[in-house]
Amino acid sequence: MTGAAGRAIVADDDPAIRAVIRSVLAADGWQLREAENGARALELFRTLGADLILSDLQMPGMDGLELLRQVRSVDDTVAFVILTGAGSVENAVEALRLQADDYIVKPFHVDEVCLSADRAVNYRRLLRENRLHQQHLEERVAEQARQLESLLVDAIRSLAIAIDARDDYTGGHVERVSRYAAATGRELGMARDDRRALWVAALLHDVGKIGVGDGILKKPGPLTPAEYGEMKRHPEIGAAIMDGSSFLRPGLPGVLHHQERWDGRGYPAGLRGDEISLHGRIIAVVDSYDAMVSTRPYRGERTRGEALEEIRACSGSDFDPAVVEAFFRACDRGFPVDPEMPVLPERAEIASCAARG
């Protein structure tokens, strides 16, 4: 045999057959165990393992096909050859369906057994090597994907922070909003991919303000109708930016809809109720909350209790009541970090919301 010898089990209720196979395999260096039936062979396999099993088809108790079925349920990389003196087409088909490597009808020549065993062992070795190679490739691809995502997240965060700076927010606004949003999404039972899209949308919800002039964005007093009309374009500008990237595109609805209101008074499209994407409804709540507790040049911050009272008061008008309730549950838990979302080093500590007063 050209394949490297290893551990083999011969299962046959005929001692003469076992003796012939033992002499052939032992000459090639195999460590051989013998079993008079399938049950004993299975016991040996589970206890000692095997690289090769040669089994009679018809044996008292557990037959060869059942032995094959049991072995394959444990390890499908073990070479398995069926030997039978009473074979049928049905048996052969079933053996191959169960992934037997060969099906030899007695009487056989010893060279035929050697060749069959050699082919089976080499095939199963190649199968193991291919799986290890495939696993290695998958691990490399996964690692490259993680590195690429890390670079994208860094770039997204840098852009979001730049937008924050133009909007005169205190540090950490986009990080807090993305964390609040992800925690609220988990309370609503959103799947991982949906939460990932929500996280991206929350981080970049104001990216469209890149197209709004500083004279409007930083104006300390009320905006004129024309200026407000220009400001109201930022969700659509942001959505156009998101649409240009396959990585960002899933977050597009949240960016486009985060200024819509539950009762239809929002912008840019005046959507109401479930016409607004769930991502947009969530960001509307968490962004409003963080804006209220943040100091701005044209007004001071509200207390946490005051902000929470305002969120509650606007439930059913500005905000989706179900989202508000999920937000309060997440708030009570301290907005735990979602372990399935990218980690952002925060520039400002996220205060606990355990107390609503």
The pLDDT of residue 88: 66
Q: How far is CA 323 from CA 306, 326, 351, in A?
A: 19, 5, 20
Which carries the bigger pLDDT value, residue 99 or residue 347? Answer: 99
- The alpha carbon torsion through 148, 152, 158, 161 (nearest 10 deg) reads -140
Looking at residue 211, its pLDDT comes to 87
* Architecture field, domain 7-135: 3-Layer(aba) Sandwich (3.40)
The token pair that represents 161 in the structure block: 């922070």
* The pLDDT value given to residue 353: 47
Give the span between the Cα atoms of 331 and 194, in whole angstroms.
Answer: 20
Express each pLDDT in 218-237 by its tens digit: 787 788 999 999 999 999 99
pLDDT, tens digit (0-9, with 9 covering 90-100), for 71-104: 999 988 899 998 887 666 777 777 777 778 888 8
Tokens 């076992």 — which residue? Answer: 18
Query: Which tokens sit at 10?
Result: 């011969």
Q: Where are the alpha helices (DSSP H) in the chain?
A: 15-27, 38-48, 64-74, 89-97, 110-166, 173-187, 192-203, 214-217, 225-231, 234-243, 252-257, 278-293, 304-313, 321-332
- DSSP symbol at 210: G
Using a cut of 0.75, tell me whether the model's pTM lies above it.
no
**Of 3.40.630.30, 3.40.309.10, 3.30.1330.10, 1.10.3210.10, which CATH number belongs to 167-332?**
1.10.3210.10
Domain range annotation of the chain: 7-135, 167-332
Pairwise CA distance, residues 101 & 119, whole Å: 8
What sign for the dihedral angle of Cα 169, 170, 175, 180? negative
